[in-house]
Amino acid sequence: MDHPSRYVFLGAGAIGSALGGLLARQGREVLLVARGEHARVMADRGVTLRCPDLTETVAVPVATAPDEAHLTVDDVLVLTAKTPQAADVLDTWGDAPVHDRDGIEVGRAADVLPVLVALNGVAGEEIALRRAERVFAVCVWCPTVLLEPGEVIVRGAPLRGVFHLGRYGHSPDPAADSSLLASIATDWEPAGCLVRPTDAVMGWKYRKLIANTGNALEALLGDTTGAEDITTAARAEAEEVLGAADLPVVGKEEARAGWEPEGLEFLPVPGEPAQLGGSSWQSLMRGTGSIESDYLNGEIALTARRIGRPAPVNAGLTALARRAAREGLRPGSITADELRRALGLE
């Protein structure tokens, strides 16, 4: 790419608003696609970043619909809605017209623009590849929290996140892809976001999926202290199922070396509670009515069913988390003992 990119975050919640704000703060062009009160607050006064080492409100352009966006060939779409919302947001934005630098319409977004799938789990890439030509998988290691409209808590400092990134599906032009990934690294790294291009990106995503089987536990229990045995059971089952299915999981040691030496830590953020949870916990805290567990624990249950293995812990967690979201329950709706009983872990 010989022209600066604009990063268009499709579904700018915790991750999209954090990345958008951090990039905008460094002078990069961004567009945050959001909705509801969160979109209104960001459009009126910007996004407030609450980090361990700074609090700052950054002006960001916001769009709620494609006709507010004027997409061009220099745009990079970054899918950051949660997996259950991914198809809907891509359907809406994939049909948006894209213009060249002279303002001539050159095609639809899904045919012309790169789509980075910055989601947990491994299902988002197939959802995107059904709809878009040029898809990249992203393994997102970037703890952020959205509880109040317009305000995002970024828990890492000075490093904000580590992103393993690679082409998903066949690439007709690997050199163009490498050049895009290199320009993303150049744009994102000054914002504290390390970009690690890799052909093994799905292996990183599978490794992270194993860790993310704990998301449902945080969402259900609120505080997972004293429930480490349940987290361990969910992760061990996930490791066993993915291994039995011969899926390409990056090894534990390699993953540790890839994430930890970068120095990314979950640090306390001044004025914010010490006890904050991950993305699924936030869905229940915000009462969104939906949760991503079908694509996290549910991915383990699905894989197990495909190969004829049991996965009772992850299947049980999927069902309980889905019900909690549907019924509007907040984190802490069940005790660790009740959960052990429900999952047959006693």
**Residue 88 engages ligand NDP in binding (rule: CB under 6 A):** yes
Length of the chain: 346
Which residues from 29-58 bind ligand NDP, rule CB under 6 A?
33-36, 38
Instruction: Give the separation between CA 285 and CA 330, rounded to whole angstroms.
Output: 6
Question: Within positions 123 to 182, which residues make up the interface with ligand NDP, using CB under 6 A?
Answer: 140, 142-144, 146
Residue nearest to ligand NDP (CB): 13
Name the residue nearer to ligand KPL (CB basis): 113 or 217: 217
**Residue 230: partners with Cβ closer than 8 Å, 6 or more residues away:** 217, 224, 313, 336, 339, 340, 343, 345
Q: Which of 5, 85, 213, 314 binds ligand NDP (CB under 6 A)?
A: 85
The contact set with ligand KPL (CB under 6 A) reads: 120, 143, 212, 215, 278-279
Rg (CA), the chain: 20
Residue closer to ligand KPL by CB (options 212, 314) is: 212
Q: Which of 26, 55, 288, 335 binds ligand NDP (CB under 6 A)?
A: 288
**Applying CB under 6 A, does 82 fall inside the site for ligand NDP?**
yes
**Residue 258 within binding range of ligand NDP, rule CB under 6 A:** no
Identify the CA nearest to 154 among candidates 166, 146, 165: 146
- Closest C-alpha to 109, from 127, 123, 122, 91: 91
Q: Is residue 293 close enough to count as binding ligand NDP by CB under 6 A?
A: no
Backbone angles phi, psi at 164, to 5 degrees: -85, 135
Pick the closest to residue 317 from 346, 335, 285, 294 (CA basis): 294
The residue (of 320 and 325) whose beta carbon lies closer to ligand NDP is: 325
Strand-strand pairing, 161-168 and 6-10: unpaired
- Interface positions with ligand NDP (CB under 6 A): 11, 13-16, 33-36, 38, 80-83, 85, 88-89, 92, 119-120, 140, 142-144, 146, 278-279, 282, 288, 292
